[in-house]
Structure 1
């Protein structure tokens, strides 16, 4: 489908934000370490932290079952497969990865705009996209992580669902589950949408059954694990062994404030306080969605929040909250008030700069 002028402007906005973030990140590194970035390799190297290496290794070497290579079993395959597909074009796996995320981030902006326009006017729809791309952890939409690709499939699935295109909702949902594990939660969200339609029309719609396509991506990943490790749930074992994480009660996130007693202030903030604040903010937003948004969005918010909050040590909570995209719908609605709009914008940009700078310096930033 061709893009409208408004959508092209949003694409341009995404590219401008991306360029400014990369520039700011490089300046932060140069000032902090008193070292110039003099080559393309040096600049790209600033983006190669944490899980980036895992995705690039899967793209170039495939999955492994021994040593450090076994850790790759915990990462879903669609994103690294796309990297491998584009590597011959860009002659660099990392450049190919950045190309995938760039295309996906632009697609996210258009998809969210179209989803918003189903229920809101263009001004509100634009603001939702704006708040997504200035969210404090939105730099993950621009680096070699799955966030942009996953968020595109999720929002595209919601667009199809809201328009009654259940086949495409199932297809996009299956691609989401092949990108990230929480894509499976789309079943609950779309189930609620189907129940709402059934309540309003009193008619059973056989097209709802296309939702059954969503688990196919997850099932395929289990087959990959079974083929490689002899255990379809090997990725669960690997994640538990290496990242020492387990499900617990949601209020356990409060315990992470305890890191303030033994960690340095920078680590205590990113490993404790920030996590609790984002978990608490996600909870408040979930309650607000129950009042202001459709039930399917509330179900998506609530199920994602539970998965995030029930981790015994979820160091990535601020990043994972990005998937709770109805937050940006709520921000766009609240920002009809100019004072609220200014407060949300300043807060988002300040913390986006803080966390983005930390990531470029190689410090932990979710």
Structure 2
């Protein structure tokens, strides 16, 4: 004799036997995502898969140590260069006894605390440091691409297509590998792009708070704050003066994290300029005229002063600076003053060191570049074809360069 169970007993997860409902928080999140957002996220996940495959291949093509028969650990492919600094800060802090004994704290203070603090928090759940760093960038990048797509679509009838194009150009850009590794780019964009979107929608308190969060990760947050302030000053607003002043306060809020970090370093070092001096010691970021910086970079790129790998990276720096200057000129021509302010400040900071350094990585943060390319490609179909055919392959080259341990810029 068989017994038929009541419906409620067939599925212990649901009293009705039906698929359990989505949790309220998840449901609210899904409800906020449009079909266009979901298409952007699908592209994002596919490009993440591609980068993970590149890392897998380089673990075999460029094995660790001298044993050419044993591949390197896959996670080790992401533990390159600045990652060691971020993990050290998250694990030991800036001024622990071990760091002082090694003398490493002198240069560690060049890294803003936002990413290490986030890494330490995630590490309480994800015990592997590298996995925790990759997870931060994965989630942050997802937030960033959705925000970028929405920025690209502002005020356009073809908003969905414009957003997909902008996201595609970013994710296939030469330095795109840095959006996947445990670095600050994705985390910065996850705050900076929603901040810009909030500013365009005249939500000044939200824009100020998000920009302040971005400033904890990178000094570029101050450049973004300047751009948002210009956007605020240019906005047509009929509110009363005291409300305008209150909104202006939110635009200035991002100064506080930078000031707090400066005070923290002074308390430990007695040097109000500790961050700048660390940049100078570790990366030759002492002030030089733009002409001097260009000459020094050019000589290291083409005058056989460096090994070929390093010389090639200096050539990339020159190409990225040229791209930035063209972008700046276009923004000024179109009188897009807020975005122009952001790019001008960025180029000034990167173009007045002893030589150009980390400019290809900085291009990831230039959202006007990706939105501008997207809008241009919708008017001129050959732009997309040229980019995918001639520029996107460099993303694989740089991904291999980084994951094989040959990147230094």
TM-score (normalised: structure 1): 0.93
The one of 62, 65, 74 aligned to 2:93: 62
The one of 34, 44, 52 aligned to 1:22: 52
The 5-angstrom pairing of residues 53-202 of structure 1 reads: 53-64=84-95, 66=100, 67-120=103-156, 121-198=159-236
C-alpha distance in 1 between matches for 2:128 and 2:375: 42
Give the length in aligned residue pairs. 361
C-alpha distance in 1 between matches for 2:327 and 2:286: 24
C-alpha distance in 1 between matches for 2:125 and 2:258: 29
Three-state SS of the structure 2 residue aligned to 1:89 is coil
C-alpha distance in 2 between matches for 1:165 and 1:202: 13
The one of 302, 308, 311 aligned to 1:268: 311
The one of 357, 373, 385 aligned to 1:315: 357
Three-state SS of the structure 1 residue aligned to 2:71 is coil
Shift in Å, 1:230: 2.8
Q: Which residue of 1 aligns with 2:25?
A: none
Q: Which residue of 1 aligns with 2:340?
A: 298
Greater Cα offset, 176-185 or 300-309:
300-309
Cα RMSD after superposing both structures: 2.0
Residues 178 and 220 of structure 1 are in contact (CA less than 8 Å); yes or no, is this contact kept in structure 2?
no
Greater Cα offset, 292-301 or 70-79:
292-301
Query: Against the structure 1 CA distance between its residues 35 and 278, is the aligned structure 2 distance closer, same or farther, given a 3 Å change threshold?
Result: farther
C-alpha distance in 1 between matches for 2:160 and 2:170: 16
C-alpha distance in 2 between matches for 1:137 and 1:318: 6
C-alpha distance in 2 between matches for 1:277 and 1:234: 31
C-alpha distance in 2 between matches for 1:125 and 1:293: 22
Q: Which residue of 2 aligns with 1:247?
A: 287
Matched, 1:335 2:366: no
TM-score (normalised: structure 2): 0.83
Report which of the two structures shows the higher radius of gyration computed on alpha carbons: 2
Three-state SS of the structure 2 residue aligned to 1:278 is helix
Matched, 1:223 2:254: no
C-alpha distance in 2 between matches for 1:285 and 1:302: 10
Q: Which residue of 2 aligns with 1:354?
A: 397
**Structure 2: gaps spanning 5 or more residues:** 1-28
Query: Against the structure 1 CA distance between its residues 92 and 86, is the aligned structure 2 distance closer, same or farther, given a 3 Å change threshold?
Result: same
Three-state SS of the structure 1 residue aligned to 2:173 is coil
Higher helix share: 1
**Structure 1: gaps spanning 5 or more residues:** none
Q: Which residue of 2 aligns with 1:363?
A: 406
Residues 151 and 371 of structure 2 are in contact (CA less than 8 Å); yes or no, is this contact kept in structure 1?
no
